[in-house]
Amino acid sequence: MTFKAEYIWIDGTEPTAKLRSKTKIMTGSSAQDVAELPVWGFDGSSTSQAEGHASDRVLKPVFSCPDPIRGGADILVLCEVLDIDMTPHASNTRAALRPVAERFAGQEPVFGIEQEYTFFDGHRPLGFPEGGFPAAQGGYYCGVGADEIFGREIVEKHLDNCLEAGLGISGINAEVMPGQWEFQVGPLSPLEVSDQLWVARWLLYRTAEDFGVSATLDPKPVKGDWNGAGAHTNFSTKAMREGPDGYDAIITACESLGEGSKPMDHVKNYGAGIDERLTGLHETAPWNEYSYGVSDRGASVRIPWQVEKDRKGYIEDRRPNANVDPYVVTRLIVDTCCAALEKADQV
């Protein structure tokens, strides 16, 4: 039997990488372990990953799932990009996450990432009138009705596609600006949440393509008094989730993110254009001031009220931009918080 495998990878575009994919016709049984899928190659000179005179790069399968677009026995295959000596290419941020995730796996870190995005119809956000602006934001968030909601049929199709692919989607909602939406992936381990978020992003673009609409992770798609798009990153370890001193571990994690150069180390890797989004307005904290607080949507890191009440749970880093690389944000948070928890013996 033959089937189609869509090999997906992250390119070398700067400052924000793009997704690429191409199709491989395979023979045999489709229920293949990712370890058994063959490596493949591509032209790195067309993806900002090589010079023309030595252009070959390697695609190494690392995650696969059913392909909900094509259906049947067809699959999606997420890959790491390697050089031809089989070492990670410079653009391969997943390779840097692997050892950090492994080193702190004993703490059982998990993430839930809230992916905000905006649909565009040509040069206008979906729902924006030609040559002007819609009514000011206020009624669109979690709204209902044709005067407030734009693109729901695409969002529903994307959700179904993600579920059919077996991705760990935990919810969706309409966002504060017209045409702006969110889906959440997780809670899952650092590598799982990141792989699945990249595949969910690919499915978002691919699903919207069939409706003639584009989706963007631009963190500030409309300048002025309109909310930006973020990727709030919710995080916990076993000690934070379970107690009995879960809240102490939560405070240790929040404090560690504010120590020394950590606020800047994190923020500068939380997505291009972060200073445009983290202005201190529109439910954000200023990008150059670290803070944390209970229920505080104007803080860098929020402790949900239920977590304070239960004395255990998780924290929400509200800073990452919609265009953040999940391999990078999960690596930084695990590295900072898990090291501090280890030092404080809160594991």
Q: Where are the alpha helices (DSSP H) in the chain?
A: 93-103, 152-164, 190-209, 238-242, 246-256, 262-267, 274-277, 305-310, 326-333, 339-343
**Which residue shows structure tokens 């760990």?**
168
Q: Which of 331, 293, 277 is nearest to 104 (CA)?
A: 331
> Rounded to the nearest whole angstrom, what is the least distance from the CB of residue 94 to Mn ion in the complex?
24
> Rounded to the nearest whole angstrom, what is the least distance from the CB of residue 169 to ligand ADP in the complex?
9
For residue 74, the partner it binds in Mn ion, ligand ADP, none, with Cβ less than 5 to 8 A by kind, is: none
Residue closer to ligand ADP by CB (options 49, 237) is 237
The Cα 180–Cα 151 span in angstroms is 9
Residue count, binding to Mn ion (CB under 5 A): 3
> Rounded to the nearest whole angstrom, what is the least distance from the CB of residue 272 to ligand ADP in the complex?
23
Binding-site ranges for ligand ADP (CB under 6 A)? 110-112, 114, 170-171, 184, 186-187, 232, 234-236, 241, 313-314, 316
Residue closer to Mn ion by CB (options 89, 232) is 232
Q: In what order do the strands lie in the sheet with 75-82?
A: 19-27, 2-10, 75-82, 56-66, 40-43
Strand, helix or coil for residue 104: coil
Residue 218 amino acid letter: D
> Rounded to the nearest whole angstrom, what is the least distance from the CB of residue 255 to ligand ADP in the complex?
18
Residue closer to Mn ion by CB (options 11, 114) is 114
Residue closer to Mn ion by CB (options 182, 325) is 182
Residue closer to ligand ADP by CB (options 22, 309) is 309
> Rounded to the nearest whole angstrom, what is the least distance from the CB of residue 293 to ligand ADP in the complex?
14
Residue closer to ligand ADP by CB (options 47, 196) is 196
Residue closer to ligand ADP by CB (options 12, 186) is 186
Residue nearest to ligand ADP (CB): 112
Stretch that binds Mn ion, among 14-22, 89-97, 176-184, 304-312 (CB under 5 A): 176-184
Residue 29 amino acid letter: S
> Rounded to the nearest whole angstrom, what is the least distance from the CB of residue 287 to ligand ADP in the complex?
19
> Rounded to the nearest whole angstrom, what is the least distance from the CB of residue 322 to ligand ADP in the complex?
13
The Cα 3–Cα 28 span in angstroms is 8
* Residues 78-117 close enough to bind Mn ion by CB under 5 A: 114
Please spell the DSSP secondary structure of 186-239, one letter per residue. EEE-HHHHHHHHHHHHHHHHHHHHTTT-EEE--SSSS-SSS---B--EEEE-HH
The number of helices, as runs of H, and strands, as runs of E, in the chain is 10, 14
Q: Is 182 in the site for Mn ion (CB under 5 A)?
A: yes
The Cα 257–Cα 290 span in angstroms is 8
For residue 256, the partner it binds in ligand ADP, Mn ion, none, with Cβ less than 5 to 8 A by kind, is: none
Q: Answer for the pair 287, 301: CB distance below 8 angstroms, yes or no.
A: no
Stretch that binds Mn ion, among 66-74, 160-168, 216-224, 225-233 (CB under 5 A): 225-233
Residue closer to Mn ion by CB (options 74, 182) is 182
Residue from 20, 57, 89, 232 binding Mn ion (CB under 5 A): 232
CB neighbourhood size of 61 (10 A): 23
